[in-house]
């Protein structure tokens, strides 16, 4: 946690995070322009934020897009805040979020991509199995992800409550065990009007003696869907991390374990 607190201690770095929160997925040029700072200075601050895992970079062709990664903030909340007065804090947070939603009227800043990075003390093979084994996903996700995981195959996101209900479907676009899995994600099953499927990429990278797992959720339909998956993915991945590192899952409300929660 020390790198996180060190990164957050600087007002310029906090401002960078604010700018990414307002508009995620910015290039270095865009960030420099919005802050009125020299390229070298912004790069140094971004490097420190990257070392603290607060910012992650996704390459798109020649561009490097910078995304706010909420994983360390989520860890701080789980470790120091949730045990004190979580119900009251959640209520206050809900009020604050509603106020911000009413205030946000410029839809042009919506970026249809969400990126989350977490580090797990496991092997790439163990992480891959946790992503693709129906029994394991049912334990930490509340849904069994069912497929043969071959490119072009269908997959289903089935509830693990015994009902057999399917909340999402999609297609396996790419599967390169144990490092890369790309899926389409259609969560509008049975809904009218249906919406175009989004796309999820899981990138599993060995990082010293642990694994760096990057989840990129793209082609999001609107801000409601973005807000929903922003609540869902941290809960899902925290549960996955807990299961692989301790053998136990975290207590979660059912809606919290869906990446499209309340979307």
In the chain, what are the domain boundaries? 2-68, 112-257
Taking 90 as the threshold, does the pLDDT of residue 93 lie above it? no
Q: What percent of the chain has pLDDT over 90?
A: 42
pLDDT: which is higher, 96 or 135: 135
Mean pLDDT of 245-256: 69
Q: Which of 162, 140, 174 is nearest to 259 (CA)?
A: 140
- Measured between alpha carbons, how far is 7 from 46 in angstroms, rounded to an integer? 10
Mean pLDDT of 162-181: 94
User: At the top level of CATH, which class does the domain 112-257 belong to?
Assistant: alpha beta
Write down the pLDDT at residue 110. Answer: 60
Instruction: Write down the mean pLDDT value for the chain.
Output: 82
The reply to whether domains 2-68 and 112-257 share a CATH topology is no
Residue at token pair 């989004």:
198
User: At the top level of CATH, which class does the domain 2-68 belong to?
Assistant: mainly alpha
Q: For 65-79, what is each residue's pLDDT tens digit?
A: 998 887 787 676 666
Reported residue count of the chain is: 263
Write down the pLDDT at residue 60. Answer: 80
For 232, other C-beta atoms within 10 Å of its C-beta total 22
- The answer to whether the beta carbons of residues 72 and 53 sit under 8 Å apart is yes
CA distances from 236 to 105, 132, 214 (A): 30, 14, 13
Q: In the structure encoding, which two tokens stand for residue 223, read together?
A: 């801000």
Q: In the structure encoding, which two tokens stand for residue 60, read together?
A: 């798109």
- Measured between alpha carbons, how far is 69 from 214 in angstroms, rounded to an integer? 10
For 234, other C-beta atoms within 10 Å of its C-beta total 22
Q: Tally helices (H) and strands (E) across the chain.
A: 9, 9
**Which residues have C-beta within 8 Å of that of residue 38, sequence separation ≥ 6?**
32
Q: In the structure encoding, which two tokens stand for residue 46, read together?
A: 């971004």
For 174, other C-beta atoms within 10 Å of its C-beta total 12
Nearest 5°: phi and psi at 250?
-85, 150
Write down the pLDDT at residue 141. Answer: 93
pLDDT confidence of 103, banded at 50, 70, 90? very low
Write down the pLDDT at residue 105. Answer: 42
DSSP structure class, residue 9: T
| Global confidence as pTM | 0.67
The greatest distance separating any two alpha carbons of the chain, rounded to the nearest whole angstrom, comes to 57
């Amino acid at each position: 946690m020390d790198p996180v607190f060190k990164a957050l201690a600087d007002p310029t770095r906090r401002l960078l995070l604010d700018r990414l929160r307002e508009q995620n997925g910015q290039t270095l040029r865009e960030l420099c322009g919005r802050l009125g700072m020299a390229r070298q200075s912004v790069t140094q601050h971004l490097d420190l934020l990257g070392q603290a895992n607060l910012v992650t970079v996704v390459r798109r062709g020649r561009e490097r897009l910078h995304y706010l990664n909420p994983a360390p903030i989520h860890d701080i909340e789980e470790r120091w805040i949730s045990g004190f007065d979580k119900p009251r804090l959640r209520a206050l947070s809900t009020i604050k979020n509603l106020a911000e939603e009413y205030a946000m009227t410029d839809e042009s800043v919506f970026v249809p991509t969400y990126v989350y990075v977490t580090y797990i003390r496991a092997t790439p093979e163990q992480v891959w199995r946790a992503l693709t084994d129906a029994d394991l996903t049912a334990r930490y996700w509340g849904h069994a992800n069912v497929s043969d995981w071959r490119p072009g195959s269908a997959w289903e996101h089935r509830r693990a409550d015994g009902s057999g209900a399917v909340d999402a479907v999609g297609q396996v676009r790419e599967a390169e065990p144990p490092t890369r899995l790309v899926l389409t994600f259609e969560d509008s099953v049975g809904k009218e009007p249906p919406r175009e499927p989004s796309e999820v990429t899981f990138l599993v990278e060995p990082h010293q003696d642990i694994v760096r797992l990057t989840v990129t959720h793209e082609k999001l339909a609107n801000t409601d869907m973005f807000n929903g998956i922003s609540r869902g993915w941290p809960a899902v991945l925290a549960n996955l991390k807990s299961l692989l590192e301790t053998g136990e899952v975290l207590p979660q409300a059912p809606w919290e374990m869906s990446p499209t929660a309340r979307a």
